[in-house]
Each structure stands twice: as structure tokens, then as C-alpha cells.
Amino acid sequence: GAVVSQHPSRVICKSGTSVKIECRSLDFQATTMFWYRQFPKQSLMLMATSNEGSKATYEQGVEKDKFLINHASLTLSTLTVTSAHPEDSSFYICSASPQGAAYGYTFGSGTRLTVV
């Protein structure tokens, strides 16, 4: 089955530093990947759509200069949280679909970011 790998699973960083999160589709190619953010006991909120070879599209209210997305290959998308602050602490999850939107998306295992 389709597997999406996310790394790291947990990261703690100091306020003001940048953190990169990787999302890989292991057994399929993904021209589109999605990045979500999830606060404790809340639902998944779509942050941005990552498009291979072109700019990401961001949801309303998401700062594109703060959350940099790079989708340089058909199997890798990265999310970089720049100049992280404690309020950026959250669970970040990526997803992709091997067969198209109608068949649902496979999610990565998530990255717990803690900014201290």
C-alpha cells in the first residue's frame, strides 16, 4: 500500500531558529502533497498545498514567508518553519495520494514541533 514517511517525528528547537520537516512518498510519485497543522484536541487544518516543480499554494491566514515549502522532486516535499516561536509549537502532518483525491490521502506519521 501507499506509504508516506515523515521526518523527524519529534523536534525541539530554540525560539528564533528554523526547522525543516521532510515528507516522502516511499512507493509512489506525488505531484501534490498537503501540509496540515493540528493543535491538541483539535482537527487537522490545511496549511498549504505543495506542488512539484512550482510554488506552493497557501491557505488563507498562513504566512508563506514563515512556512516555506519546497517540492523539488516527485517523492519529497519539505516544510521549513522559519524563525520559530513558541506559538508555532504544534503537530505537523503531511499527506499525499497515489491515486487521486477521490481515493483519499495517505498521511505521514506527523512531526511534533516544540519551540522553547
Partner 1 sequence: GQQLNQSPQSMFIQEGEDVSMNCTSSSIFNTWLWYKQDPGEGPVLLIALYKAGELTSNGRLTAQFGITRKDSFLNISASIPSDVGIYFCAGLASGTYKYIFGTGTRLKVLA
25 binds partner 1 (CB under 8 A): no
44 binds partner 1 (CB under 8 A): yes
| Neighbour-count burial of 12, counting CB atoms closer than 10 A to its CB (0-12 exposed, 13-18 middle, 19+ buried) | exposed
Shortest distance (Å) from residue 87 CB to partner 1 = 18
Among 54, 86, 87, 101, binds partner 1 (CB under 8 A): 101
Beta strands in 1-116 (DSSP E): 4-7, 10-13, 19-25, 32-38, 45-51, 57-58, 67-73, 76-81, 90-96, 106-107, 111-115
Which 56-95 residues touch partner 1, going by CB under 8 A? Answer: 59-60, 91, 93, 95
Which residues of the shown chain bind partner 1 in the complex (CB under 8 A)?
Answer: 4, 6, 32, 34, 41-46, 49, 59-60, 91, 93, 95, 100-110, 112
